[in-house]
Structure 1
Amino acid sequence: MALDRLGRPLKHLILYVSKLEDKGIGYHSVTEAINTETPSGKFMLHVFGALSEFERNLIKERTLAGLEAARARGRQGGRPES
């Protein structure tokens, strides 16, 4: 499973991986070369997790800015009234 599908907010990602580790299960991603059974793998998990969360926040900001710009131009979003 890709890291960004496991958890987008970093705190959720860390929580999921911690729960797996409590059960003796490590996370190993072949696509991202992350293995939580090594110190460098745990570090990379945190780095990629933080980048994933940052990307999600950027998408959210751009979406909100686009909606505000459309509203300023007089465009009203949502479904048409019945």
Structure 2
Amino acid sequence: QEEVTLTHREYDLLQFFLAQPDEVCTRDDLLDQVWGADFLGQQNVVDVYVGYLRNKITTTGASPLIQTVSGVGYKLREPMSDAQK
């Protein structure tokens, strides 16, 4: 296993995904829960940080653990075991 260094925001984002396994999280949900309801920045900040986190936690050659659900948001998928591969 490899150690991954996350920023505070990336860590909070990962924690939120882990609390909702295999559930689709909308960008609004992520903004409210990770950035806070009073966040005044642009919504695309979610896409940027999901990209950062996805790149850090995805193993080379593997499917991303954080999947994009087109038009809705994102979800954390279960990693496949060696038996499932």
TM-score of the aligned structures, taking structure 2 as reference length: 0.35
Which structure has the higher relative contact order (CA within 8 Å, separation 6+)?
2
Which structure's CA Rg is the greater one?
1
* TM-score calculated relative to the size of structure 1: 0.35
Which of the pair is proportionally richer in strand? Answer: 2
Larger helix proportion of the pair: 1
